A and B are shown apart, each in its own frame.
Chain A
Amino acid sequence: MTPRGSLAQIGKYPVVRKLGEGATSEVYLCNDPFNLRDVAIKVAFPESFQDPARGSIYRKLFLTEAKLAGKLQHPHICQIYDAVAEEKLHYLVMEYVDGGTLEKYCSPQSLLAVERTVEIIFKCTRALEFAHKLGVTHRDIKPANILHTGETEVKITDFGTALIASGDTTTQVAGVGSPAYMSPEQLKDLPLDHRTDIYSVGVVMYSLLAGRLPFQAANNFTLIYQITNAEPEAPSSFRPDIPGAVDAIVRRAMAKDLAKRYANWGDFSADLAAAFRSEHFGARKSQAFADSDRFETLRRLPFFENFSDAELWEVARMSTWRHAPAGEALMKEGEPGDYFCILAQGEVKVTKHGKLLNVLRAGEPFGEMAYLSRKEHARGADVTVAADASIISVPTRRLNQASESCRHKFDRAFMEILVERLAMANLRLSGV
């Protein structure tokens, strides 16, 4: 048998280097020569599968979970590309994320800014809502299972490890370290639903904000007692710059009583977005629009009604956002156009030779002929800000590189608008 940590090749994948090791598996960075990309491969230690009583159950659960994860295609969930169960070698082939996990931001000397934490948790809540809608509960949310890269990019990983660990052994296997992130109902072995994940995300948020766990105990027994009985101190008692609204969100996510906890992910993420926008935050945050802010804004615009979460995240990433004061000229007739805009807030007017053609309100696009006509396109009219506005610009070049489904949604949205405008024009023509 191959000794641990010395694999040179896993199936058809040449190993680049070892990335890490857990209690039941180790992870390697490998090369996928067929698809020409880096992948992370998690290899289960053979012992867990060779157990005469449990081996076959583990194997079956392993495959079931892999099948499940293949369906979770979301920008903030780590993709599983393939799963292989051989006699002696079981492994999952996953998306490789360059960067570590959130673990390193959970101690007082390396905390993230509060806004960034809120952003990260917001993305987690949206991703887990997506999973929940597909009937998937993670059951093992903790900082070590949230990969992190860039400013606030996250990918949730290890879906279903809790299930693989199976039944009554969950606590021991998953919680080799500690049950710190488990919900009270999980510790009591009650039936679980998505709200156990809501609780665990609450604990992750607590740890990222305060730099410490909500409950600290000398041993697991005391810890379990506290999780099921004690109230944690508010995160702001360890870090005064945490606003009250954020304290309240953590408290509600971590409520022991299910009736007091967020009943669904939507409420949780809505509160996070609201906290981000609140006055208190606004004073300190820069003019820049945060990802969560962008996402929430897009989600509310009718133009994006039929976009999925994944597609909206694409839009949030490819677009540039800015505020424009009343009076600013945004587009001029005759200028070449290589981007179009969607008005997020405020009012703009469209004029031609000084004659008013149209006044646009939040949610309406302008300059879209640059995208729709495919050819080199000069602006056909002037666009000026009428009332202080927030403007989303989408470069046509970047949209052309977006996923097919995202472009398709733009096309459908524009189509509705074109049909509407054509109907209006025909009406005016027939009225003349």
Chain B
Amino acid sequence: MENLGALALLLAFCISLYAIVANVVGKLKNKPFLLLSGERAVLAVWFLITSAAGLLIYSMMTGDMRLAYVASHTNKAMPTFYKFAAWWGGQEGSLLFWSWILSTYGAVVVFTGRKQHRQLLPWALAILSAVQLFFLILNAFVVSPFQVLAVDRVVTSVPDGMGLNPLLQYWAMVIHPPMLYLGYVGFAVPFAFAMASLISKAPGESWIHLTRRWTIVTWLFQGMGIMLGSAWAYHVLGWGGYWMWDPVENASLLPWLASTAFLHSVMMQEKKGMMKVWNMVLISATFFLCIYGTFLTRSGIISSVHAFAESPIGKFFVTFLAIGIAATVWLILDRLDYLKSEAELESVVSRESSFLFNNLILLASCFAVLWGTMFPVISEKFAAEKISLDAVWFNRLMVPIGLFLLFLTGVGPLFAWRRTSLESLRKNFQWPGIGMLIVIAALVAGGMRYPYSIISLGLCFFVAATIVLEFYRGATAINEKTKSGLIPAMIELTHRNTRRYGGYLVHMGMVLMFIGWSGHPFNQTAVGEVNKGDSMQVGAYTLKVADLQDADYPDYQQETAILEVSKNGQPIGRLEPARRFYKTAQQATAEVALRSRINEDLYINYAVRNGDKATLQAYVFPLVSWIWVGTLVLIGGTFVCLIPAKVARSYPRTEVVGVGKKNAPVQA
């Protein structure tokens, strides 16, 4: 079994190599048969990796404890669902999962690309195969998932495996890694097409149009992966936070920030023919940050709660990154002539300028996060002392950045291209602006003393108001013609230009998330050692301990506190925070009791038992639900962006007299 799997990976490695050669030679010498075989090689690689993955999954399902991977990541008692999830639960399997997703994307590219993008396809496939080749080197030769225990070991098999970490046995944790991987891997495709476009000196922006949906879907996966991880931390870990600037969290945020910048700046290229070099740089940066993130999770160079066991694959990643980045930089520099801008910036108060600042800020935040994450490595190198930076540092930097981005979210989309007149500024921003000032004044008058929260909530109102106003104005205009009513008119409006109004919805999702984050300074905490009959107070809530119970289950022991909760003296029901101790894994997990409402969450963690007293950590977290609601709105908005617009728009470029006229392609 393990031999078959290893053989499949070895064959996949060879065929990936062939796919690169066939596509490159076939394209250069113009041999259709070679190109066809190159495409089929990509499909064959998919088939082989799928077979290898199937064999690994079969081994896990049947509990083949001779395999090191199976023995370390599953046990016989685990539910089938989690046995399957163990595929990406460890180093070797997750790398195989990476390869499998990449090969699947490759196959999709072959099927969708055969007819549409003949010119770019061979180069794109060659680049995808080169990336695949790297991961197959790891899979086949360095960290094979089919390693048997007998190699270098005394034993050949163990009676039962170690099982999956019980903390990870939670639904969000099962889909969180695949989502992130779909994101991480997905950016390889737009990157491959961008490079293909550079190599073949393809005119125009075909690569952007070809990969727009692809990029958005990948961006969505990445964002959902991040938010699932965040939600898991909040609901399962028991410390009540959703983000702690851990290196691995940062690693997933980096490509998301870079790709968010990319999604915005491609609009500049599509509509004005500007920032062409910049977009190449951004998509390359996104892709390499994805590889870097994969590397950071696995190399153990930075200690993190998430990290896999240390392994020798770090240097492979460094080599791959070095070669890849050098090749990309050389390619972009060599093709600079094909990337000339067709227009110039005209005014500071314009759409172009707001995109520019959006990009500057996103990139700055990306760099700041990267710097902070790598600080232990950097300081060790240059100051000979290993120093890490804490969450306070990240927040000091990222909160103002976030607020500035929020501000741009409000004003940017309403600035006109080229330059914005005072009249239009007044029309768009008068009421939201006044509203924002009223909100801020009310918050200050109400006794709120956290400047960032006040500014954030004020800006949230401002941005939400501009978005609502946009929908309202557009819908009224349609309603006047069709008399269909305001709501159908709004749907019609969105349908006519899904990119624009879907984008507004995404922005609205971000606004809701900012509202949730604004609640953070108002968190209340209480820790109490309580016995049966005691009560403790957190915020407006009183927790009375009705009982402390112990129970023994086959998998785990559980201690539970039964709490009768009242708010301002009014009983509001029972909460039962608990703590489980898993016997095989020798690990405890928190079963947090949560009462979630739109204004605040009551969050109770059963921390520890000392004799007959239990230590409870009780928190009140204002506005946290808004973060999850905002995420859902963001997802919905992204789906709207993916729907084809009802009215096909050609977006004629604004012709700028005298500037870059030579290069401007004629737009039909």
> Do A and B truly interact?
no
Interface residues of B (CB under 8 A from A): none
Interface residues of A (CB under 8 A from B): none
